[in-house]
Amino acid sequence: MPFPNNFLWGAALAANQCEGAWNEGGKGESIADHLTSGSRTKPRRFVQDLNLGDYFPSHTGVDFYHRFEEDIALFGQIGLKSLRLSIAWSRIFPNGDDAQPNEEGLRFYERVFTTCQENNITPIVTLSHFEMPYHLITEYNGFANKKVIDMFVRYAETCFTRYKGLVKYWLTFNEINFGTLSAGRLFCLGLRDAAQENYFFTSGDETEQYQALHNVFLASAKAVISGHQIDPQNQIGCMIANGLAYPLTPKPEDVLATQQRADWFNNFCGDVQVRGSYPSFAKRRFERRGIKLNVTAAEEADLLNGKVDFYSFSYYSSSCVAKTSGNEGQGNLIAGQNNPYLETSDWGWQTDPSGLRLTLNRLYQRYQVPLMVVENGLGAIDTLENGAVNDPYRIDYLRAHVEAMHQAIDEDGVDLIGYTMWTAMDVISAGTGEMAKRYGLIYVDRDDQGEGSLTRIPKASSIWYHDVIASNGDSA
Ligand code: BGP
């Protein structure tokens, strides 16, 4: 069986990594505006005071805010059928708790989605991609405060209402399962005590963290309920970072440790959002650790009524787990051990296309809902030579993953409805804040100091992808 005829071939972006214009158009400050640049060896820092002279790459991004018409026209020329992008919450509600939405922000995305429509591109819109209005952290302690649930729902309803007819596919929270890690305390949950320099690894009160994650689940579920009421055509999905891990050895204790990690990192959030209730292993874990969450019967009903329509996820690499684990191989936040059978990127991410097929099978067997791969790609150093970028390594990476998806559909019967590779064009890396780590189909002339003409140059991979889409996967 080939890819389905209406398969959503596409590419992805995220507002804080591409838009720039951080304080234009009435936008408020978001968490992402407080992150400095970084590199492979120097972690990004969280800075409260923006006048400290650091370079904040999110402030200028790759200027999508001013160039989106030209950019989306280029995506159209590549033949993208879908574009995953996010709305910056702080463009719509600059402080999060404002009485009225910011009309200029609403109009901006209206123009973006209309431009997609003019280029025959279906938008897939994430409501919160690693950012929320900064004011919600300082004033409310983020999602630890139940008032923030209503603020998110109002933001979501404002978007569903305004973009009815323009947007059908929605994702609520990007990589929500980072909320189970210390790394996600700030940018998934907005916890105030996480707003300090080493923001990735701030540990803190577990009860507060899981209460905040529960509140995020609720915000998502209530948005799903409203989204369906506002437009029954809406299809609303969850978004989970896939952390596929293999046992490092066949030792039963390593196999068990791998399963436990999969349950906690991969299955917990997916189960809540697809099945509408907490899995037994999570309830038991909370009891054993003395974590008592404030969950009412009405909230349980909301989780059940706010089940998502489809499951979307990011997939880049896999790793290995042992009962006594070191932390060698890694994605941007997920640590594990290196697999001797896989190749490793310059940033230490291991390439594993078969793992994508395995993941698709596991997810479909577990949930029996349509699946979407909404991030998958290779971060690499690209070089511009004689005005062109030749990136055969990216083509190899993408081809192998397209083949894995095809096998999952054709041989295994998985219901996969879309693929938005990461990224449509070069953007700022979320993990390191670099420009040097490029994933795009289109090269953007900008460096780590923020210098460059911002000229867009389609890479060889964009020509390859054009043919893949035109042949519905046959030419991969
Ligand atoms: C995911 C994020 C993206 C993206 C990607 C690549 O975790 O959802 O925003 O950036 O990873 O990561 P990085 O940019 O750190 O290489």
Residues 52-62 have pLDDT tens digits of: 778 999 999 99
Which pLDDT score is estimated for 381?
Answer: 96
User: Which whole number is the average pLDDT over 433-440?
Assistant: 97
Nearest alpha-carbon partner for 128 in 53, 32, 228? 32
Q: What is the pLDDT of residue 308?
A: 98
| Residue 198, pLDDT score | 65
Question: What residues flank ligand 1, with Cβ below 6 Å?
Answer: 14, 17, 174-175, 241, 314, 332, 375, 379, 422, 429-432, 437
pLDDT of residue 49: 87
Q: What is the distance in A from the centroid of ligand 1 to the CA of 8?
A: 21
User: Ligand 1 centre from 1 Cα, in Å?
Assistant: 32
Task: Report d(CA 270, CA 232) in Å as an integer.
Answer: 23
pLDDT at 398: 98
pLDDT tens sequence across 230-247: 999 999 999 999 999 999
Pocket probe for ligand 1: among 200, 351, 422, the residue whose CB has the most ligand atoms within 8 Å is 422
Average pLDDT score over residue span 416-442: 97
Measuring from atom 5 of ligand 1, which residue has the nearest CA? Answer: 430
Atom of ligand 1 nearest to the CA of 377: 6
- Map tokens 């700022």 to a residue: 428
β-strands 384-385, 8-12 pairing: unpaired
Taking the centre of ligand 1 as the mean of its atom positions, its distance from the CA of residue 430, in whole angstroms, is 5
Q: Whose CA is nearest to atom 2 of ligand 1?
A: 430
Q: In this structure, what token pair is assigned to residue 163?
A: 């973009």
Query: What is the residue-averaged pLDDT of the chain?
Result: 94
Measure the CA–CA gap between 49 and 195, rounded to whole angstroms.
11
Domains of the chain: 8-134+232-260+306-470 (3.20.20.80)
Q: How far is the CA of 52 from the centre of ligand 1 (A)?
A: 26
pLDDT band of 106, cuts 50, 70, 90? very high
Contact 74, 112 (CB under 8 A): no
Catalytic residue from among 208, 299, 375, 434 = 375
* Å from CA of 424 to ligand 1 middle: 13
36-50, 114-128, 149-163: the lowest-pLDDT one: 36-50
Percent of the chain having pLDDT more than 70? Answer: 96
Q: Is the pLDDT of residue 182 over 90?
A: no
What atom of ligand 1 comes closest to residue 437's alpha carbon?
Answer: 16
The pLDDT of residue 470: 97
User: For position 45, what pLDDT does the model report?
Assistant: 87
CA of 130 to the centre of ligand 1 (A): 10
328 is known as an active-site residue: no
Please provide residue 295's backbone torsions phi and psi, each rounded to the nearest 5 degrees: -130, 120
Q: Which protein residue's CA is at the shortest distance from atom 9 of ligand 1?
A: 430
Q: Which of 429, 435, 437, 438 to mutate to test ligand 1, by most ligand atoms within 8 A of the CB atom?
A: 429
Q: What per-residue confidence (pLDDT) applies to 64?
A: 98
Please tell me the predicted confidence (pLDDT) of residue 334.
61
Q: Which of 375, 421, 423, 435 to mutate to test the pocket of ligand 1 (most atoms within 8 A of CB)?
A: 375
Q: What CA–CA distance (Å, rounded) separates 392 from 34?
A: 35
If one counts every other C-beta atom within 10 angstroms of the C-beta of residue 229, the result is: 11
Give me the phi and psi of 304, to 5 degrees please.
Answer: -70, -40
Cβ atoms of 20 and 430 closer than 8 Å: no
Q: Give the pair of three-digit tokens for residue 293.
A: 């969450």
For residue 140, give every residue at least 6 positions away whose Cβ sits within 8 Å of its Cβ, in sequence order, or none.
96, 97, 147, 148, 190
- 411-391-351 Cα angle (round to 5): 45
DSSP 314: E
pLDDT at residue number 183: 82
Report which of 191, 106, 215 is spatially closest to residue 155, judged by C-alpha positions: 106
Q: Kindly report the protein residue whose alpha carbon is nearest to atom 3 of ligand 1.
A: 430
Cis omega before residue 158 (within 30°)?
A: no
Q: Is the pLDDT of residue 286 over 80?
A: yes
pLDDT confidence tier of residue 48, bands split at 50, 70 and 90: confident
Going from the Cα of 195 to the center of ligand 1, the distance in angstroms, rounded, reads 20
Which of 177, 199, 332, when mutated, tests ligand 1's pocket best, judged by the most ligand atoms within 8 Å of its CB?
Answer: 332
Closest CA to 318 of 245, 403, 399: 245
What is the tens place of the pLDDT at every residue in 108-141? 999 999 999 999 999 999 999 999 999 999 999 9
Query: Is the pLDDT score of 348 beyond 90?
Result: no
- For the question of residue 175 being annotated catalytic, the response is yes
**pLDDT in the model for residue 192:** 87
Q: Is the pLDDT of residue 203 over 90?
A: no
Partners of residue 169 on adjacent β-strands: 124, 235
Handedness of CA 133, 139, 142, 146 (dihedral sign): negative
Question: Under DSSP, is residue 371 helix (H, G, I), strand (E, B) or coil?
Answer: strand
Residue pLDDT, tens place only, 316-346: 999 999 887 554 444 555 667 899 999 998 8
Q: Which one of 19, 175, 208, 299 is the catalytic residue?
A: 175
What's the whole-number mean pLDDT along residues 281-308?
A: 97
